[in-house]
Chain A
Amino acid sequence: MSEESINFDELVLEHKDKVFNLCYRFLGNYEEADDCAQETFVKVYRSLKDFRRESSVSTWIYRIAVNTCKNRVASAQYRRSRNMVQLDEIGDEKLSPAKEADRSEKGELIQEAIDSLPHDQKSVVILRDVEGLSYEDIAAATGLNLGTMKSKLSRARQELREKLKGLV
């Protein structure tokens, strides 16, 4: 195994949970999040040799993940799958990790509120309030300038607080 592949494996192991969580919060679906996170790392693998270290590796990976999620949401295939009943989950006695995650009703409500946000606000609020990234990293990961990012974050928080009032 080459040095590059060892580094890539380490990179995946180090960032897979964060990326997966970001994808899940962005898409609100475990299967989609799994697929999207895998695609993110495939893209990372392909462009690893072109990475110029202008930002940290984690910020770079987050940026790829956010863009991959946005593309997925925009795709027709994703919109169709959102409208379909997932029959394969019916009768599944063993709880999947997705169901484990959604078991909390409170968590479900918060996720629904996040889902209702516009894409830009959604990505900003997830990166800041769920993942805990710094403002600079969020700006770098989303490609927004700092002021715009803070403005979007403020609007996103306001909306979420309005939607979650009395529910949680």
Chain B
Amino acid sequence: MDNKDKRDMLPEDEYLKQMSSLPKVKAPDDFLRKVRERIERRTFRERMVDALFVPFRIKIPLEVAAVTATLLLVISSLDVIRPSKHLASVPRSDVETAVIGKTEDSKARVFISRNEEKAKENVEAEKGMIIMDNIEYGGKAADHALEDSKPVLQEKSDTVASLKIASEPAAAPASAPVEAGVSFECLKAKKMEYKETELSEAVAPSRGLRQADTFSAVTGLIASVQGTVTGIGTDKDMGPAQYIDAEIPVANYELFKKKLEDPAISGKVKMQPILKEAPQDRNIIQVRIIITGTF
């Protein structure tokens, strides 16, 4: 700083003198009281905020906090990727919706239970039938088929809905091609599933691979008398068929009974008519063939 600059400024000692001579402004006499009032006057909101954000005084080692956080993360992740745990809590009586057929304008929806679905899967597996939950078909024939297979929901209990066919067409031959969407056999299978609770408990069928042979022999027998397999009863866990429900034309019923008396089959199966299910106005007899042994 040169001398000219210094000349343009207040001398330092004069500056310091002036600054130190500034009057000291004193606080008002009631300053303490005002401060006290202000401390007491804190709003409810301020008190709430203070209470919410009270510092966490407990000291936790960082390692412990990290391990705890990791464990919580892992447990929550496992919960997310394991949905079966959540599904297990769903009541078994819950029903699911399946579309069994629809026209261009309308859809027919029926409720099927899990057991019904399992029966359907067995039909697929054993007979090679293709049953589709949602099949489109058009035309009058399709509409007629849909009309014939109108489902009526009949409450069995509070939560379980049973399926019954209101009116059925004449027995279709076993060899007849499966109408897409109509799934006549499928529907019957679903219906007969409920009979399992009434009849199958008394049956102690043999299980295993050989049972499939028995099943094939019986279904072949039914086909030979122009009967129709309408349902297959299965054990919920084991899977293989235990009984077969069928519709046998009245004309061939005696023949069918004779064939069942064949030594190759006799003793392995037991037949009983399902009297209450047999429609009176049709020329068929509904039977249940219980598989009691293997070949």
* Chain A residues proximal to chain B, CB less than 8 Å: 9, 12-13, 16-17, 19-21, 24-25, 30, 33-34, 37-39, 41-42, 45, 97-98, 100-101, 104, 106-107, 110-111, 125, 129-130, 132, 157-158, 160-162, 164-165, 168
* Given A16-B32, A33-B25, A129:B20 Cβ within 8 A: yes
Whether A41 lies near B35 (C-beta < 8 A) is yes
Whether B35 lies near A34 (C-beta < 8 A) is no
Measured in the bound complex, the distance between the Cα atoms of B34 and A34 in whole Å is: 10
Dominant secondary structure of chain A at its interface with chain B? helix
Q: What are 18 A-B residue pairs whose CB atoms fall within 8 Å in the complex? A: A9-B32, A19-B27, A34-B34, A38-B38, A41-B35, A45-B35, A98-B25, A106-B18, A110-B18, A130-B20, A157-B15, A158-B9, A161-B10, A161-B12, A162-B10, A164-B10, A165-B8, A168-B18
- Enumerate chain B residues within 8 angstroms of A33, measured Cβ to Cβ: 25
Which residues B1-42 have CB closer than 8 A to chain A? 8-12, 14-16, 18-20, 22-28, 31-32, 34-35, 38-39
Whether A130 lies near B9 (C-beta < 8 A) is no
* Given A41-B35, A45-B39, A101-B23, A34:B28 Cβ within 8 A: yes
Dominant secondary structure of chain B at its interface with chain A? helix
B7 CB, nearest partner CB in chain A, Å: 9
Whether A162 lies near B32 (C-beta < 8 A) is no
How many B residues touch the partner, as a band?
20 to 34
Whether B23 lies near A107 (C-beta < 8 A) is yes
Measured in the bound complex, the distance between the Cα atoms of B9 and A45 in whole Å is: 43
Whether B8 lies near A20 (C-beta < 8 A) is no
- Enumerate chain B residues within 8 angstroms of A100, measured Cβ to Cβ: 23
Give 8 A-B pairs besides A42-B35, A129-B19 with Cβ atoms closer than 8 angstroms: A13-B32, A21-B24, A100-B23, A101-B23, A160-B19, A161-B9, A162-B10, A164-B10
Whether A107 lies near B26 (C-beta < 8 A) is no
Whether A12 lies near B32 (C-beta < 8 A) is yes
- Enumerate chain A residues within 8 angstroms of B22, measured Cβ to Cβ: 25, 107, 110-111, 130
Measured in the bound complex, the distance between the Cα atoms of B265 and A163 in whole Å is: 123
Measured in the bound complex, the distance between the Cα atoms of B20 and A59 in whole Å is: 20
Measured in the bound complex, the distance between the Cα atoms of B11 and A160 in whole Å is: 11
Whether A42 lies near B39 (C-beta < 8 A) is yes
Whether B16 lies near A17 (C-beta < 8 A) is no
A107 CB, nearest partner CB in chain B, Å: 6
Whether A97 lies near B15 (C-beta < 8 A) is no
